[in-house]
Amino acid sequence: MTYLADVAALARKDLLLELRSRDTLPAMLLFVVSTLVVFHFSLPSGSSDLAAVGLLWVAIVFTALLGLTRAFVAEREQRLMDGLVLAPCDRSAIWLAKGLSIVAFLLLAEVVALPAYALFFEPVSGQMVAGILLADLGIAAVGTLLAAMAAASRARELLLPLLFLPLAIPVIVGGVGASVADDPARYLGFLGLYDLIFAILSWASFEYVVTE
């Protein structure tokens, strides 16, 4: 039970920090709407709505990247990570809490992005929302681990997209498939499988990445 209490306290810390400083979330909201507007102008007239679906997924992944690059900034700049690693809690709790706050940011960004998408392009279907929810989990799970790696390197913001995008390709495949296919079940199942496998892997390996 203490594990969950640790996770809750750490996640609360992240959300409270964001609530006070408003560093990340407003940027993500503005970014996702701007990209949708850019995408509107980048599609030649007469393009099918299917192209817009693909671009929505690009917008989601890039918005997530924006949030992820900020994820460990406080930990690095205030040397908070040293304290967290020294704290008598399981290190994977740090990953879980950070992942949960990333999911929360992503959900809030999508609360803005999906109506904007419906307004600019076409209505959003239920299967698309299901795909996005599952993708959020996978993106947060893998992204949090990779963000911790990138934060420990010199290249930081530059490195994260390079590490993250090859791992995000299956998410894109599953997500776009779930959005456009007539039978989204297998794509949703695939996203669920991805979430499960990479969540377990990231949860188990986070400790190795953050300890000196």
Partner 1 sequence: MSLRNNRLGALALAAAALLSAGVALAFYWAPEDADQGFSQRIFYIHVSVALTAYASFGWAAWKALRLLWRRDERYDLESYTAVHVGVMFGVLTLVTGSIWARISWGVWWSWGERQLVLFLVLFLFYSAYFMLRYSTEPGPRRARMSAVYALFGVVLIPISFLAIRLAENFIHPVVFTREGPQMSGSMFFTFLVSLAGMVALAFALHQTELAGKRLDLRLQELRKALAS
Distance of CA 122 to the CA centre of its chain: 23
How near is the Cβ of 58 to partner 1 at its closest, in Å? 15
Q: Does 186 bind partner 1 (CB under 8 A)?
A: yes
Question: Could you tell me where the beta strands, DSSP code E, fall in the chain?
Answer: none
Contact in structure between 100 and 108 (CB atoms under 8 Å): no
Draw the binding track, 143-182, toward partner 1 (x: CB under 8 A; -: no contact): --x---x--xxxx--xx--xx-xxx-xx--xx--x-----
Cα 150 from chain centre: 15
**String of DSSP letters for 9-38:** HHHHHHHHHHHHH--SHHHHHHHHHHHHHH
Residue from 1, 88, 126, 211 touching partner 1 (CB under 8 A): that is 211
Separation CA 176–CA 171 (nearest Å): 8
Q: What does the alpha-carbon distance between residue 171 and residue 165 come to, in Å, rounded to a whole number? A: 10
What distance in Å separates the CA atoms of residue 114 and residue 33, rounded to the nearest whole number? 10
Query: Six-digit token pair at 134?
Result: 């599952």
Taking the complex as a whole, how short is the minimal distance between the CB of residue 195 and partner 1, in angstroms?
11
Please tell me whether residue 30 binds partner 1 under the rule CB under 8 A. no
* Nearest distance from C-beta of residue 117 to partner 1, angstroms: 22
| Cβ–Cβ < 8 Å for 98, 74 | no
212 binds partner 1 (CB under 8 A): yes
**Exactly one of 31, 194, 195, 203 binds partner 1 (CB under 8 A); which one?**
194
Residue 61 binds partner 1 (CB under 8 A) = no
Least distance in angstroms from the C-beta of 208 to partner 1: 4
Taking CB under 8 A as the rule, does residue 79 contact partner 1?
Answer: no
Distance CA 142, CA 194 (A): 10
Smallest distance, partner 1 to C-beta of residue 24, A: 23
Q: Could you list the residues that contact partner 1 (CB under 8 A)?
A: 145, 149, 152-155, 158-159, 162-163, 165-167, 169-170, 173-174, 177, 186-187, 190, 193-194, 197-198, 201, 205, 208-209, 211-212
